[in-house]
Structure 1
Amino acid sequence: MMFECEAEAWLGIDLGTQSVRALLVTADGTVLGAGTAPLTNHRDGVRHEQDPGEWWEAVCTASRAAIPSLRGRGSIGGLAVCGTSGTVLLTDAQGRPLTRGLMYDDGRAVEEAARVGMQTSWALPKALWLLDAYGPGRVTHQPDVITAKLTGEVIPTDSSHALKTGYDAEREAWPPQLAHLGEVLPKVVRPGTRLGEVCRTAAEATGIPAGTPVIAGMTDGCAAQIASGALRSGAWNSVLGTTLVLKGASASPVRDDAGVVYNHRAPDGSWLPGGASSVGAGALPVGPDPSEMDIRAAEYEPSGALTYPLSSPGERFPFVAPQATAFTLGKPASEADGWAGVLQGVAFTERLCLDYLHYLGAPIDGPLTFTGGAARSAYWNQLRADILARPARVPEQIEPALGMAVLAAYGTGTGGIALSDVADRMVRIRTVLEPRASHTARFIEPYARLVDELETRGWLPTPLATHTRTRLNEDTIDS
Structure 2
Amino acid sequence: MSRPQSTQVAREPLVLGVDIGTGSTKGVLATPAGQIVATARRDHRISLPRPGWAEMDAEQDWWGDAAAVLGELTAAAAGAPIAGVCVSGLGPALVMCDQDGPIRPAMLYGIDMRGTAEIEQMTAELGEQNILRRCGKRLSSQAVGPKLRWLARHEQRYRPGLRWFSSHTFVLERLTGEWVLDHHTASQCDPLYDVARQAWATDWAQRVLPGVELPTLHWPTDQVGRVTTAAAAATGLPAGTPVMTGTVDAWAEAFSVGVRRPGDLMLMYGSTMFLIQVLPAPTTHPLLWTTSGVVPHSHTFAAGMATSGSVTQWVADLSGASFEDLVREAGEVPPGSDGLMLLPYFAGERTPLYDPKARGVVAGLTLRHSRGHLFRAAYEGIAYGLRNIIDVLEEAAGPPARVVAVGGGTQGGLWTQIVSDVCGITQDIPATTIGAAYGDALMAAIGCGLVPPQTDWSRIQSVVQADPVQRKRYTQMREIYEDLGRSARPAMHALSDIQQHATP
TM-score range, shorter chain: 0.7 to 0.9
Equivalent position to 1:31, from 29, 32, 36 = 36
Quote how far apart the aligned CAs of 1:370 are. 1.2
TM-score normalised by the chain length of structure 2: 0.83
- Corresponding residue number in structure 2 for 1:177: 204
Deviations, residues 311-362 of structure 1 (Å, cap 9, x unaligned)? 42x11112211221111221162111111100111111111111111122x1
**Equivalent residue of 1:247, what SS?**
strand
Q: Output aligned runs, 1:17-416, within 5 Å.
A: 17-44=22-49, 45-54=51-60, 55-72=62-79, 74-92=80-98, 94=99, 96-104=101-109, 105-117=111-123, 118-132=139-153, 133=155, 134-136=157-159, 137-151=162-176, 153-166=177-190, 167-175=193-201, 176-180=203-207, 181-258=210-287, 260-284=288-312, 285=315, 286=317, 287-300=320-333, 301-303=335-337, 304-312=339-347, 314-331=348-365, 333-360=369-396, 362-395=397-430, 396-413=432-449
Quote how far apart the aligned CAs of 1:457 are. 4.9
Separation in 2 of the partners of 1:390 and 1:299? 23
Stretches of structure 2 that go unaligned for 5 or more consecutive residues are 1-10, 124-138, 491-504
- Corresponding residue number in structure 2 for 1:466: none
Total equivalences in the alignment: 443
Distance 1:398 1:392, change over 3 A: farther
**Equivalent residue of 1:257, what SS?**
coil
Separation in 2 of the partners of 1:223 and 1:164? 15
Deviations, residues 75-120 of structure 1 (Å, cap 9, x unaligned)? 222111112122101112x472222211112222122221223212
Q: Which letter maps to 2:152?
A: L
Contact 2:290 2:299 in 1 (8 A): no
Q: Which letter maps to 1:61?
A: A
Deviations, residues 111-169 of structure 1 (Å, cap 9, x unaligned)? 22212232123211112222332131222222221111101x23211122222223223
Contact 1:250 1:363 in 2 (8 A): no
Separation in 2 of the partners of 1:28 and 1:11? 13
**Equivalent residue of 2:301, what SS?**
strand
Separation in 1 of the partners of 2:152 and 2:446? 36
Let me know the Cα RMSD of the aligned residues. 2.1
TM-score normalised by the chain length of structure 1: 0.87
Separation in 1 of the partners of 2:481 and 2:437? 34
Q: Which letter maps to 2:444?
A: A
Distance 1:456 1:264, change over 3 A: farther
Separation in 1 of the partners of 2:41 and 2:478? 37
Quote how far apart the aligned CAs of 1:34 are. 0.9
**Equivalent residue of 2:238, what SS?**
coil
Quote how far apart the aligned CAs of 1:363 are. 4.0
Distance 1:414 1:22, change over 3 A: closer
Quote how far apart the aligned CAs of 1:216 are. 0.8
**Equivalent residue of 2:285, what SS?**
coil
**Equivalent residue of 2:28, what SS?**
strand
Quote how far apart the aligned CAs of 1:25 are. 1.8
Deviations, residues 241-290 of structure 1 (Å, cap 9, x unaligned)? 111110111111231134x3232233321212111211301112113111
Quote how far apart the aligned CAs of 1:170 are. 2.2
Separation in 2 of the partners of 1:95 and 1:227? 35
Q: Which letter maps to 1:379?
A: L
Separation in 2 of the partners of 1:273 and 1:7? 38
Q: Which letter maps to 1:112?
A: E
Quote how far apart the aligned CAs of 1:382 are. 2.0
Contact 1:169 1:265 in 2 (8 A): no
**Equivalent residue of 1:454, what SS?**
helix
**Equivalent residue of 2:187, what SS?**
helix
Quote how far apart the aligned CAs of 1:456 are. 4.4
**Equivalent residue of 1:165, what SS?**
coil
Q: Which letter maps to 2:18?
A: I
Separation in 2 of the partners of 1:363 and 1:223? 24
Quote how far apart the aligned CAs of 1:7 are. 5.9
**Equivalent residue of 1:338, what SS?**
helix
Contact 1:233 1:363 in 2 (8 A): no
**Are positions 1:13 and 2:13 aligned together?**
no
Contact 1:11 1:23 in 2 (8 A): yes
Stretches of structure 1 that go unaligned for 5 or more consecutive residues are 1-5, 460-479
**Equivalent residue of 1:37, what SS?**
strand
Contact 1:236 1:366 in 2 (8 A): yes
Separation in 2 of the partners of 1:245 and 1:223? 12
Once the two structures are overlaid, the 10-residue window that deviates more, 374-383 or 55-64, is: 374-383
Separation in 1 of the partners of 2:245 and 2:119? 27
Contact 2:427 2:465 in 1 (8 A): yes
Separation in 2 of the partners of 1:95 and 1:190? 28
Quote how far apart the aligned CAs of 1:455 are. 4.1
Separation in 1 of the partners of 2:479 and 2:449? 48
Q: Which letter maps to 1:307?
A: L
Once the two structures are overlaid, the 10-residue window that deviates more, 38-47 or 270-279, is: 38-47
**Equivalent residue of 1:370, what SS?**
strand
Contact 2:18 2:86 in 1 (8 A): yes
Contact 1:281 1:311 in 2 (8 A): no
Equivalent position to 1:446, from 454, 460, 477 = 477
- Corresponding residue number in structure 1 for 2:128: none
Equivalent position to 2:468, from 428, 437, 452 = 437
Separation in 2 of the partners of 1:115 and 1:398? 41
Q: Output aligned runs, 1:409-428, within 5 Å.
A: 409-413=445-449, 417-418=452-453, 421-422=454-455, 424=456, 426-428=457-459
